[in-house]
Structure 1
Amino acid sequence: MQKTLFTLFAMCAFFSTKAQDSIAPVPKFVYTTKPIKGNNAPIIDGTLNDHAWGLVDWSEAFVEREPDENTPPSEQSKFKILYDDKFLYVAYRCYDSEPDKIERRLSRRDDFAGDRIAIIIDSYHDKRTAFSFTTTAAGVKGDEFVSENGNNFDDSWNPIWYTASNIDSQGWTAEAKIPFSQLKFGKAKEQIWGLQVTRLFFRAQERSVWQRVPQDLSGFVSEFGELHGLIDIEPQKQLEIQPFVVKQYDTYPAEEGNPFRDGSDFRLNGGLDAKIGITNDLTLDLTVNPDFGQVEADPGAIALDGFQIFFREQRPFFVENKNIFDYEFANGNDNVFYSRRIGRNPQGFPNLDAGEFANVPNNTAILGAAKFSGKTKNGWSIGLLESVTGKVYAEVDSNGDRREELVEPFTNYLVGRLQKDFNERNSFVGGIFTATNRKLEGNLDFLHEAAYTGGLDFRHSWQNRNYYIEGNIVTSHVTGSPEAILRTQQSLAHLFQRTDATHVEVDPTRTSLTGTGGKLNFGKSGGGNWRFETGGFWRSPELELNDVGFLRQADDIRQFANLQYLFLKPTKLLRTASLTLGQSSAFDFEGNYNRVQYDFRGFINYANNWFTEGGATHKPRIFLNTILRGGPRWRFNEENFFFVFAGTDRSKKFNATIGYVNSQAQQDNFSLVRYVLRTRYQPFDAFSLSLNFEYEENPSKTQYITERDFLGTPRYILGEIDQRTFSTTLRFNYSINPNLSIQYYGQPFISRGTYTNFNFVNNAAAEDLNERISLYSANQISQSTDNTFLIDEDLDSVTDYEFNDPDFSFVQFRSNLVVRWEYIPGSEVFLVWSQGVTGFGDPSDSLGRSLDNQILGQKRDNTFLLKATYRFIL
């Protein structure tokens, strides 16, 4: 199979290279703007009756990009551009022969709902990055920082600018006013910027563009037209200061005898955010005592495999410009920088005696943080982040006597990122450096005292950016007490104590670890219908990133290959489609061949804009080093996996997606069945509602429970689990106007697991499940009155070992109701009501009964928060 894939890749590379030679270059469009004389700037009201617009001509002749590339669009568009000393002005005319059908959907900023048009400006003219400003027919703003030549649109960027729209008998019009201070450009007599204008004709889901970009090209920003005529404009340095104040009131069920849980708390807090333009290209962001109370709660999740759960960053300070600091060096979520480590939950625990109570803060206080970032006109991307978190103490009460115990030390985090474009912006090289330093005191010697990582990355593209090779390397070094380094060696990510591993060993005297990781990929990303990618990555056993990065598992070597065919031209039946074939394999540093799998994926977007996607995976070989938590390498049975999802037209006011996922292993070793239903309804322009359901059954005959000693030999105890999980996510958004909205998020989450047929590992690598495990007989296992299982394995009427009943029922509810008012551009008021409850139900209850008893029938924690900010532009 692998030989066949290699042959296919070689053939596709050959034929696609030949096809590329015949593609004719697309002529570049140029728009020449003119300056506004005197005080005649247009008033931004959405109508185009200002005299200033007569200074320049319309640019039109848009061409369709999706679905039928290089054809006339159903409705034409045109635009004009003017400027003065401080602002760029844009006028749009979007024709529509049926103006009563224009979708004027109100939404919050960056929701991109309904008919819309955007100007995208590559003011660096680096042909890789750009600034996008979108106006909808309802006058809602959308703004994004574009990077990776159009492969990444980051809507966390929130500049200050102005826009308005208006509907008339010819369609709709819009105006935009963009301060030069929100763009980045160098000094020059005449600025030459990359320019693109793109419109979405919503009811047909048709996208048209001013500058044609063929669908088979790998780039987007690199293919822009040009904006000329910007004469003697001066770069504008930003200086914005945004203080805030927060009032918070918490209520919760009182706990008898606990002085820290008397039923309510009140807090008053304040802080400051600032944005300072050091140069026109580089910006310094500062935050002092930041508050993220308006941020949506994390979704419910439970992981029986013991690994940490990755949650996406939602805090505004860290989200903005996050693309500059990203360094995904392997696959999945592995990253040298994971900002959720800053301000994390305290890692220590107070030592409590009987009758004592503790008040442990939920998060570590961020005393201050600074972020210096941007990109210079000559191709340097720069990011430097410095953050300090303070000591966190748990307050302990012992019959009225109070003491404090340190649970998180004073910590400094530093992240530096650098990239340089060259070769006419077709290539870059870069690097990253991170440092975590803790001032350890008290009982916190189990933490690393210091952690450092460094990395180098590169990407080179050629033949009109259709082919590329990219790679990176990472090295890490952590230091600490023997206790801290021993804890790292034995953690689930490393497991140096594995009983069958000869290439690693636990050394309790070590005070440091140094490891490496990296990847190398080669592929074809444009030109014709074929795409491919092949490469590999590694993570050495000693690699450790989890002080300020994210690493799920070390000691891993992977190889992968993917081949894809794209249907770029629509037919009577479909708008677009793709087929993907993949193969991957995995090894560890001892040379064990741990996994091979073969994948097929397909996607179809039909002519009526409905869609279907599906795929299948065959895994004939599955070995994992982590299942037995330090025991021998474990084998799973051969697995076959498939999924199928189908959905209606997402442009309709009601749309839905249904999905089914099924995975089955031979001998019923394990299985997974998941049902998904996602719905979205917008009954009128100002209101949208989404409701998502997921139900999952995940039984396994060999779910790990614990390890016990039997006659001097480790005994790995497993059980047959019946795990069922249900979650519902409800969201609604009501927009009173583009600057005032009400949003709600709520999610009940229930996961229940019950165990039967307890067994122990007999031969972890056996192919036959019946040889791999041995079931306890009825005479070997009994249950005590305190729900403890007693094991008499050698049947001598003496208990050899015991373990607790592993049955569980985890129940969680999280919700946020937020009223957001941007009363002037950049200044906001948030009114927040958050509710939550987390607990453990009766595993014998059904999911429905757990929902009723543990969520609907419980008193919940409530948080009421009022936050006000004011943005001073100096």
Structure 2
Amino acid sequence: MKFHLLIFLLLSTTSFGLTAQQNDSIPKRILFTQAVKSDAPQIDGNISDACWEQVEWSGNYQQFEPYNSEAPTQETKLKILYDAKNLYIAYRCYDDEPDKIERRMSRRDGFPGDWIEINIDSYHDLRSAFSFTISASGVKGDEFISNDGNNWDSNWNPIWHAKTQVDEEGWTAEIKIPLSQLRFGEAEEYVWGIQSTRRYFRKEERDTWQPIRLNEPGWVSRFGELHGIKDIKQQRQVEIQPYISAQRASFTAEEGNPFATGSDARITAGLDGRIGVTSDLTLDFTVNPDFGQVEADPGALNLNGFQIFFSERRPFFIENRNIFNYSITEAEAGGNFNSDGLFYSRRIGGAPHRRIHSDPDENYFVDRPDNTTILGAAKFSGKTENGLSIGILESITQREMATIDILGERTQEVVEPLTNFFVGRVQQDFRGGNTVVGGMLTAVNRDLNNDPELAFLHESAYSGGLDLVHRWKDNQWVFTGKMLWSRVNGSTEAIQSTQEAFEHLFQRPDAEHLEIDTTANSLMGTGGTFKIANYGGDWIFETGMTWRSPELELNDIGFLVNTDELNYFFWGARRWTKPNNTFRRFQWNYNHWSRWDFSGKNLYRAVNTNSHQQWANFWSSGCGITYENLDISKNALRGGPLLRRPNGFGINAYLNTDSRKKVQFGLNTFQGLSQNNIVRVQSYGGYIQLQPTNAMSVNISPSFDRYQRQEQYVTQLEFEGDKRYINARVDQQTISLTVRLNYNITPDLTIQYYGQPFISRGRYQDFNKTTTTPLGKTFEDRFTLFEAITYDSENEEYSVDDNDDRAFDYSFGNPDFNFIQFRSNLVLRWEYVPGSELFLVWSQGANASGDPNRGLTRSLSENLFGDNARNVFLVKATYRFLR
């Protein structure tokens, strides 16, 4: 491979960032606090408690945006006190028109209306912090900040207390944060980093206590300092949260199916807990976790064969997930490789790998679990005062069995083995966090128990990586390097299946650098990323390369889209952040990409430019155009030879109205078109956001997508000793509508509704076969249309006369489809005491296959609330014991 060319591209593009502005550092402000000398303040929003007189107000907030470093529209002040157990904060947010203070409500972490927050870097590592936000309406928000402000995790849910009041001068707030919810080391006197931000809603203004320039890289490293905390002891947190859940499901009974009687019920119990091993390291654990109140995944169906990435929604795996993150690339330019990572928590507790289906015609019925049961899981995580970040996760999932009923006689067959998952992550800060060195190790071990039915699974899978982040020039310049490896072990059947899987395709006839080893019982591969960036000033850029060797395999516990590729990427931008009469802010971006396989063949080239702006009237918009001038796919024929795809353009645009208004809407579209109309993609989406009252919000988001391709893969088969790769013209149309409703009875008592009907229909015609020149320049060079093809509607089968001898040579099934899905849940959530919750849940789901020849809306209306709907009613109660 011509690696010298890649190195030249990488180094030459760094000059793009040399014009980045170099700013002198802004002096850090210092706020002094004292220990409470009398009674602690009562947390009621009234800041008249005598103890608040011990310390002076600290004000002089400055605008962060829109007019950076200028005086704020309204003045803000804060005070901080502490005692042996808690940190206390008081705010005075002045407002000349208190009747116009926006007191919208939302569920926790909604950040509605006017709000104020404090960020506390109690580690004082200049990299991470704990954020506590309180809105004028009393809604709490909390986030864990990591990577110097590049990651804000709102799934961190500590126990703390806050109240607000509105008066003739504006509004006030009081906060009590137990020290057990923070992490800090041992010291005689502490210095913590702090930052406070106020949102002044009417002007969409952000004011900060510690001034910070808008284009500076980093956030936590720019905090001011809190001085004066003495003689406090490390708080070893102990939290136990048992739960009990009662669930009843109702559905349509199926005649003859003993497993579909129309209803079932169950009661479960479990336990979540957290123990502070030290003040900065905690052990989280769960026994028989229940995720019945978790929102369902959105509908998705694609035809390209690649895996679909779904975000994690289960609380145990969400909290502290930043510690376990090992995303391989994270390129600003984007790309399919951006979703690759060593740890993808959705692998734990997923659907069983072995699939056994019912056959009612043969009186063969199967009761198969939808998901693998998580028997237990534990996480040991935290960060020491010396800058060592540690994360260890261990989980065990149950051996799952399917029950098979044949005319009343029942047997059981294994569908998933007992499995142990392990993840270990360490990172060490140097140079005050400007250099971070880390590593990760994952392991999956399955007890296959000599079950021949599970021989297709890996018996064990291991992966690991080393990573380095180095920042210099006041954090403006960043170098990132990651190198990783994987090894999977199993039967020769399992390893051959991996070599032939969609992500690898060793069987490709034109891949001379690849060869299937039918005797191998292990497979080992590598991958990595190197990139350099400048994020400071008006001109910024990032460029680098990332690779996946053909043998790399991460999908036992990680997420891997593709292998056998080396990608080069570049992203650059110019930012205008000072408002004028037209824009509040404006940004222009440029990207380009190129890809090679490990034989050195160039597979892909594309360039893109786009812009994003917020207008003076608070509307926002953006548009972009991408040109692909080379696209050769090694996956399109599912193990067949490389296939040239046509060059083409893609255009995207969006428009959003003022987010402060009680009626908002947004529109977006993507239009893709290739040469000679071989491929056409149309996508339309939008939303309308309604705020009829402060307590209620409604969001309705429809979308319509149409995907047309003349060369869509259908199937492959043998004929006269050769492979036939069958393709067709496909017309796929997809409609979805997502509805969300939130109603706050109080800040701690909410009703939430989510619903999404989804339908995707695909119809195929103009069937063809790939020629012996799949890299030809024209469609006719690459494909030959079938002239002698007939369709048997009774058997739903196409038959083809391939050699013009007036006899059918082979046949294949009708690939048309019409998939209909409906998912919804209605949740009443009551946090009756901080950290303890009651859930009342009604969820409804339905899947159906409709007639592909019917219209989309008709198919949707006929199947949306059909007889196959499943209703689940659930009551779940938790109680959080805190010591």
- Superposed pair shares fold, TM > 0.5: yes
Pair 1:160 & 2:164 matched: no
User: Matched residues in 2 for 1:857 and 1:366: separation?
Assistant: 32
Match of 1:393 in 2: 401
- Equivalent residue runs for 1:516-665 within 5 Å: 516-526=526-536, 528-665=537-674
Provide, for residues 431-480 of structure 1, a one-character-per-residue CA deviation record: whole Å limited to 9, x for no partner: 00000000003211110000000100010000000001001011000000
Match of 1:347 in 2: 353
- Equivalent residue runs for 1:706-855 within 5 Å: 706-762=715-771, 763-777=773-787, 779-783=788-792, 785-855=794-864
Match of 1:30 in 2: 30
Aligned length: 867
Judge which range, 398-407 or 144-153, deviates more: 398-407
Match of 1:15 in 2: 19
Query: 5+ residue gaps in structure 2?
Result: 330-336
Contact 1:421 1:427 in 2 (8 A): yes
Amino acid of the residue matched to residue 719 of structure 1?
A: A
User: Matched residues in 2 for 1:659 and 1:612: separation?
Assistant: 9
Query: 5+ residue gaps in structure 1?
Result: none
Pair 1:184 & 2:194 matched: no
Match of 1:71 in 2: 70
Q: Percent identity?
A: 48
3-state SS, counterpart of residue 352 of structure 2 = coil
Match of 1:701 in 2: 710
Deviation at 1:2, TM superposition (A): 10
Amino acid of the residue matched to residue 878 of structure 2?
A: T
User: Matched residues in 2 for 1:68 and 1:287: separation?
Assistant: 47
In angstroms, what is the RMSD of aligned CA positions?
1.5
Pair 1:122 & 2:132 matched: no
Amino acid of the residue matched to residue 505 of structure 1?
A: E
Contact 2:589 2:609 in 1 (8 A): yes
Deviation at 1:785, TM superposition (A): 3.1
Contact 1:106 1:686 in 2 (8 A): yes
- Equivalent residue runs for 1:317-328 within 5 Å: 317-328=316-327
Deviation at 1:787, TM superposition (A): 1.8
User: Matched residues in 2 for 1:8 and 1:57: separation?
Assistant: 54
Match of 1:334 in 2: 340
3-state SS, counterpart of residue 424 of structure 1 = helix
Match of 1:382 in 2: 390
Pair 1:421 & 2:446 matched: no
User: Matched residues in 1 for 2:201 and 2:13: separation?
Assistant: 38
User: Matched residues in 2 for 1:685 and 1:316: separation?
Assistant: 28
Deviation at 1:5, TM superposition (A): 8.6
Match of 1:461 in 2: 471
Provide, for residues 834-867 of structure 1, a one-character-per-residue CA deviation record: whole Å limited to 9, x for no partner: 0010111000011101111111444410000000
Classify 1:460/1:575 alpha carbon distance in 2 versus 1 (closer, same or farther; 3 Å): same
Match of 1:407 in 2: 415
Contact 1:342 1:366 in 2 (8 A): yes
Match of 2:52 in 1: 53
Classify 1:408/1:2 alpha carbon distance in 2 versus 1 (closer, same or farther; 3 Å): closer
User: Matched residues in 2 for 1:290 and 1:595: separation?
Assistant: 45
Provide, for residues 341-386 of structure 1, a one-character-per-residue CA deviation record: whole Å limited to 9, x for no partner: 0001011134877312111011101111000001111100100000
Contact 2:357 2:365 in 1 (8 A): no
Of residues 438, 441, 459, the one that matches 1:449 is 459
Write out the 4+ residue segments of structure 1 that deviate beyond 2 Å after TM superposition.
1-16, 349-354, 779-785, 856-859
3-state SS, counterpart of residue 361 of structure 1 = coil
Contact 1:784 1:790 in 2 (8 A): no
Match of 1:511 in 2: 521
Amino acid of the residue matched to residue 355 of structure 1?
A: N
Contact 2:727 2:770 in 1 (8 A): yes
Match of 2:231 in 1: 232
Provide, for residues 639-671 of structure 1, a one-character-per-residue CA deviation record: whole Å limited to 9, x for no partner: 100100011011111111101110000011111
Contact 1:663 1:673 in 2 (8 A): yes
Match of 1:80 in 2: 79
Amino acid of the residue matched to residue 721 of structure 1?
A: V
Deviation at 1:709, TM superposition (A): 1.4
Provide, for residues 191-210 of structure 1, a one-character-per-residue CA deviation record: whole Å limited to 9, x for no partner: 10001010001121100000
Classify 1:182/1:63 alpha carbon distance in 2 versus 1 (closer, same or farther; 3 Å): same
Classify 1:823/1:782 alpha carbon distance in 2 versus 1 (closer, same or farther; 3 Å): closer
User: Matched residues in 1 for 2:77 and 2:432: separation?
Assistant: 31
Contact 1:130 1:145 in 2 (8 A): yes
Amino acid of the residue matched to residue 793 of structure 1?
A: D
Contact 1:250 1:862 in 2 (8 A): yes
User: Matched residues in 1 for 2:384 and 2:10: separation?
Assistant: 41
Of residues 693, 697, 701, the one that matches 1:684 is 693
Deviation at 1:174, TM superposition (A): 0.3
Contact 1:394 1:406 in 2 (8 A): yes
3-state SS, counterpart of residue 483 of structure 1 = helix
Contact 1:335 1:551 in 2 (8 A): yes
Match of 2:249 in 1: 250
Classify 1:585/1:12 alpha carbon distance in 2 versus 1 (closer, same or farther; 3 Å): closer
Deviation at 1:608, TM superposition (A): 1.3
User: Matched residues in 1 for 2:10 and 2:548: separation?
Assistant: 25
Contact 1:693 1:729 in 2 (8 A): yes
Deviation at 1:568, TM superposition (A): 1.8
Contact 2:376 2:397 in 1 (8 A): yes
Contact 2:848 2:868 in 1 (8 A): no
User: Matched residues in 2 for 1:402 and 1:575: separation?
Assistant: 69
Contact 2:192 2:226 in 1 (8 A): yes
Provide, for residues 672-710 of structure 1, a one-character-per-residue CA deviation record: whole Å limited to 9, x for no partner: 011111111111100000000110111110110000212
Provide, for residues 486-506 of structure 1, a one-character-per-residue CA deviation record: whole Å limited to 9, x for no partner: 111111010010111111111
Deviation at 1:50, TM superposition (A): 0.6
Pair 1:496 & 2:509 matched: no
Match of 1:303 in 2: 302
3-state SS, counterpart of residue 428 of structure 1 = strand
Match of 1:42 in 2: 41
User: Matched residues in 2 for 1:685 and 1:215: separation?
Assistant: 31
Pair 1:432 & 2:431 matched: no
User: Matched residues in 2 for 1:56 and 1:220: separation?
Assistant: 27
Amino acid of the residue matched to residue 444 of structure 2?
A: T
Contact 2:46 2:164 in 1 (8 A): yes
Match of 2:332 in 1: none
Contact 2:395 2:420 in 1 (8 A): yes
User: Matched residues in 2 for 1:203 and 1:598: separation?
Assistant: 40
3-state SS, counterpart of residue 77 of structure 2 = strand
Contact 2:10 2:543 in 1 (8 A): no
Contact 2:846 2:865 in 1 (8 A): no
Amino acid of the residue matched to residue 282 of structure 2?
A: T
Pair 1:486 & 2:485 matched: no
3-state SS, counterpart of residue 164 of structure 1 = strand
Amino acid of the residue matched to residue 806 of structure 1?
A: P
Deviation at 1:73, TM superposition (A): 1.0
Contact 1:359 1:395 in 2 (8 A): yes
Contact 1:350 1:406 in 2 (8 A): no
Contact 1:350 1:405 in 2 (8 A): no
Match of 2:334 in 1: none
Contact 2:789 2:798 in 1 (8 A): no
